Structure 1
Amino acid sequence: MTHKKYIWLLALVTLAAACRITQPYKSPETDVNGLYRDQQNSDTNTIAARPWQTFFTDTALQQLIARGIRENLDLRIAMQRIVAAQAALKQSKLAFLPDVNANASVKQSRLAFPQGYGLITSATQYDVNGTASWEADIWGKLRSGKRAAQAALLGSVAAQQAVQSSLVADIAAAYYSLLALDQQLLVLQQTLANRGEDVNSMKELKASGVVNGAAVVQSEANQYAAAVAIPDVKRQIRETENALSILLALPPGPIARGSMATQQLPQDIAAGVPAQLLQYRPDVKAAEHAFRNAFENTNIARTAFYPSLNITAAGGFTSFDLSKWFTDAGLFGNVVGGLTQPIFNRGLNKARLATAQAKQQEALYNFSKTMLTAGKEVSDALYSLTSAGEKKESREKQLASLEKAVDFTKELLRYSSSTNYTDVLTSEQNLLSAQIGSINDQLQQWQAVIALYRALGGH
């Protein structure tokens, strides 16, 4: 009875010690106050909660995104990392079970007997046996290993989500860049046609004596200036199509698409509150899982300083006579239990613990940096969206005034000697610049919306 008390007391002391060795996990503290610059919003509505199908409503774009999610090679690579992490987690769970092995062998030996007299004899040994070994998880090493593997798996899943979120944003950004380039090409082609008409008009006015030959030459140069810009835009269109093809896992080729004129910005573009980045932004989640993985690895390193309890068992048959192999005479078995306490291992355990602690601190810093980066990206996208909207009204007024200026200078050129073709040329160049600027304003709005979708962790 006394021995049983000691055994129970030893078990309780061991359990209490084990509770102090491995530390319980706590999520890293994060101060999200002011993470979104100049944003004091408390509304938790956020576009991050919306599926991409409801956020990007252009049907052609939806088809491209669907294909990208299905075929993109980076996304497939991320999926394989999840498979590898799942295998590691399964292995960590099986670590709680005994290690069992079986062996069958026949050994032929030649012996000199007695020594020095040259008499040779031989012996044949027949063995079949099984061995099992099991490590008792006294200090929580295996449990910490399992939790580390779970964190690694969740981190891989979050990383895959981050790849998908970036992929959707990249496809959308390339798509709207194409629409903007298409619109610029239309403007340039229309401008080229208009300036061709100007050349004809200048020739007629010269014939009537209203203008001189310089005006005709200037009008032709103005026409060529529009023509020169067209090949560059066509090149950009082709390069953007090729880049988008890679995202879709396709060889370079044309991309089916709509037009910028039919696009409508999403309604209710809400950023929510900074704390929601922990819920929606996948790289933030991946950074926290990486911290959890490093934390549990530190726990594992701590357990290396304490004794490990291993129980091994072996059993089977062995005999030098084949006829007596599977008999009571050949049967053997043993069970061994032992504690192994590290005493001196050249500072290996200390080095492992110091390394694990450093990696844990590194993971914590990386998490904090990821949160700050996320806040910066959201703040940039919100301000870009605001500034693009502020330009819209002024740009519309500028375009209206420049269109009138072109018309007026052309009319004055016909009926007033105080106006020359340089005035017409200047007004036309200003109008073209404003038209291209208006297209870029629309693109900036879409780029800001897409950047906000990405920054908030849209899925």
Structure 2
Amino acid sequence: MRKYIGLMILLTVLVSCQVSKKYERPTIETKNVYRDQQLVDTANIATIPWQKLFSDPVLIELITEGLQQNLDLKIAVEHINAARACFKQSKAAFLPDLNGNAAITRSKLAYPQGFGIISSSTQLDVGLTASWEADIWGKLRSSKRSALAGLLQTEEARKAVQTQLISEIANNYFTLLALDEQLIVLEKTVANRKTDVSTMKSLKAANIVTGAAEVQSEANQYAAEVAIPRLKRQIRETENAMNVLLVREAGSINRKSLESQQLSLDLNIGIPAQLLQNRPDVRQAEYAFMQAFETTNVARKLFYPSFSITASSGFTSFSFKDWITPSGLFANIAGGIAQPIFNKGANKARLTAASAAQQESAYLFQKSLLKAGEEVSNALFSYHTAIEQQNIRTKQLQSLQKSVDFTKKLLRYSSATNYTDVLTSEQNLLSAQLDNIGDKLQQWQAVITLYRALGGGCQ
């Protein structure tokens, strides 16, 4: 008998090992996940703390405030607390259930055969009931690993919210700096064009230009002036968006100038495999796959029998005087095996659904990595093109400024030109000046996007 029992235990252990499948990360090719990648491992900027990425102390204070006050980040922390509670519950599943009970039962008995004498009785019960399920097939262990993956998933979700928050605050901040500089350019342009209007009036009085040139100069002034309210509206909207991120009351945002911003770091992006290590949403997607994988393990193990032990003990009596006495003491213990036989296909449906969810999460994991590679590639190329644009724009601005100066002089001393030439050159110069500020903003936005795309800011 001992040999048979030992053999049964050995077979049970072997079968349980085959039931559980060991987790393995999905095989995803990362070699060419983004273009123009480094062939050797480099110092990834994602490992640089955000306090060192930005040199502006005002921006650093704003980001610090956002990390302390932002509501999305607080919501993410509450998600972590809920997931941690589920994980603690999954660990407690290995312990037996213990319940206390107390009852009073009043009964009427009819005998013999329900005729004749009617009697009544009162039964008093108090006791403890315990039950425990042996985790033979590893169902509880898989549930615990699933809960742990869920907890880790919420941790990565919080980090993803944090990196996104840093990115949004920085982007809004640099957008405000760019809008401020564009507003300065427009105000200077309006002042210059008011001077031009006065000049055109003097030239008209001297019969050098016609009345058409005078009204064209006025229209040119209004063309620049009308853009100022639009810029002020954009500044107000951006400040309001920043206040929402910082959980502040509506008001202005303290800031410096775009010209004072300096970037003293080399934008090394590293090898694609670092995306798996640094980027929180990619790790979050992997933990989601891990959770689905263990959920499938649980669904698979529900086809196998469950082993449970139940015990109860307490006192029972038909009178108060004999209630809590040795004669009223009772105790029992029972072991049982429950094997699913027919449950209307619930276990099969559960396994099919879990397997489908696992495959879906594997696709989402792959998609998150591809999306990360796309963002890295776009941000890096955007940074390089912004620098290239700035170099060309500098030459364009120099030429346009000369064009404005030349046409104004020709308007005074030569009849071969008219105010339309001046108007065209001034409009081109203003457009180039505003675009030059946009190029600087694009460069900083590319740096911020690249930093977030590589998983920076979640340390």
Q: What's the counterpart of residue 362 of structure 1?
A: 360
The one-letter code sitting in structure 2 at the alignment partner of 1:13 is: L
Find out whether 1:121 has 2:119 as its counterpart: yes
The residue matched to 1:156 in structure 2 has which SS?
helix
* Range that drifts further, 4-13 or 277-286: 4-13
Q: What's the counterpart of residue 307 of structure 1?
A: 305
Distance 1:116 1:138, change over 3 A: closer
Q: What's the counterpart of residue 105 of structure 2?
A: 107
Instruction: State the TM-score, normalized to the length of structure 2.
Output: 0.97
Q: Distance in 2 between matches of 1:92 and 1:126?
A: 36
Correspondence list, 1:442-453, <5 A: 442-453=440-451
Correspondence list, 1:274-353, <5 A: 274-353=272-351
Correspondence list, 1:59-70, <5 A: 59-70=57-68
* Range that drifts further, 57-66 or 289-298: 57-66
Find out whether 1:228 has 2:226 as its counterpart: yes
* Range that drifts further, 230-239 or 36-45: 36-45
Q: What's the counterpart of residue 409 of structure 1?
A: 407
Q: Offset at 1:113?
A: 4.5
Q: Distance in 2 between matches of 1:412 and 1:144?
A: 85
The residue matched to 1:169 in structure 2 has which SS?
helix
Q: Distance in 1 between matches of 2:431 and 2:323?
A: 97
Q: Is the 8 A contact 1:100 1:131 kept in 2?
A: yes
Correspondence list, 1:350-429, <5 A: 350-429=348-427
Identical aligned residues as a percent? 60
Q: Is the 8 A contact 2:56 2:261 kept in 1?
A: yes
Correspondence list, 1:433-448, <5 A: 433-448=431-446
Q: Is the 8 A contact 1:104 1:128 kept in 2?
A: yes
- CA offsets per residue over residues 181-210 of structure 1, 9 Å max, x none? 111100000000000111111112222222
* Range that drifts further, 34-43 or 260-269: 34-43
Q: What's the counterpart of residue 256 of structure 1?
A: 254
Find out whether 1:206 has 2:208 as its counterpart: no
Q: Offset at 1:334?
A: 0.6
Structure 2: tracts of 5 or more residues without a match: none
Q: Is the 8 A contact 1:72 1:247 kept in 2?
A: yes
The one-letter code sitting in structure 1 at the alignment partner of 2:368 is: T
Q: Distance in 1 between matches of 2:274 and 2:287?
A: 16
* Range that drifts further, 354-363 or 264-273: 264-273
The one-letter code sitting in structure 2 at the alignment partner of 1:303 is: K
Q: Offset at 1:29?
A: 1.1
Q: Distance in 2 between matches of 1:399 and 1:180?
A: 18
Instruction: State the TM-score, normalized to the length of structure 1.
Output: 0.97
- CA offsets per residue over residues 104-148 of structure 1, 9 Å max, x none? 122222334556656443211111111000000000000001100
The one-letter code sitting in structure 2 at the alignment partner of 1:96 is: F
Q: Offset at 1:321?
A: 1.7
Q: Offset at 1:429?
A: 0.5
Q: Distance in 2 between matches of 1:124 and 1:56?
A: 79
Q: Distance in 2 between matches of 1:4 and 1:250?
A: 74
Q: What's the counterpart of residue 153 of structure 1?
A: 151
Correspondence list, 1:142-181, <5 A: 142-181=140-179
- Runs of 4+ residues over 4 Å off in structure 1: 113-119
Q: Distance in 2 between matches of 1:319 and 1:411?
A: 117
- CA offsets per residue over residues 367-413 of structure 1, 9 Å max, x none? 01111111111111111111111111110011011111111111111
Aligned alpha-carbon RMSD (Å): 1.3
Q: What's the counterpart of residue 265 of structure 2?
A: 267
Q: Distance in 2 between matches of 1:325 and 1:88?
A: 41
The residue matched to 1:315 in structure 2 has which SS?
strand
How many aligned positions are there? 457
Q: What's the counterpart of residue 455 of structure 2?
A: 457
Q: Is the 8 A contact 2:309 2:333 kept in 1?
A: yes
Q: What's the counterpart of residue 48 of structure 1?
A: 46
- CA offsets per residue over residues 3-49 of structure 1, 9 Å max, x none? 22222221111111110001111111121111111324313311111
Q: Offset at 1:252?
A: 2.5
Structure 1: tracts of 5 or more residues without a match: none
Q: Is the 8 A contact 1:181 1:233 kept in 2?
A: yes
The one-letter code sitting in structure 2 at the alignment partner of 1:95 is: A
Q: Is the 8 A contact 2:38 2:270 kept in 1?
A: no
Q: Offset at 1:283?
A: 0.5
Q: Is the 8 A contact 1:18 1:138 kept in 2?
A: yes
Q: Is the 8 A contact 1:56 1:266 kept in 2?
A: no
The one-letter code sitting in structure 1 at the alignment partner of 2:158 is: Q
Q: Distance in 2 between matches of 1:44 and 1:305?
A: 50
Correspondence list, 1:1-16, <5 A: 3-16=1-14
- CA offsets per residue over residues 278-335 of structure 1, 9 Å max, x none? 1110000000000000110111111111111000001111000211112221111111
The one-letter code sitting in structure 1 at the alignment partner of 2:210 is: N
The one-letter code sitting in structure 2 at the alignment partner of 1:148 is: S
Q: What's the counterpart of residue 219 of structure 1?
A: 217
Find out whether 1:241 has 2:205 as its counterpart: no
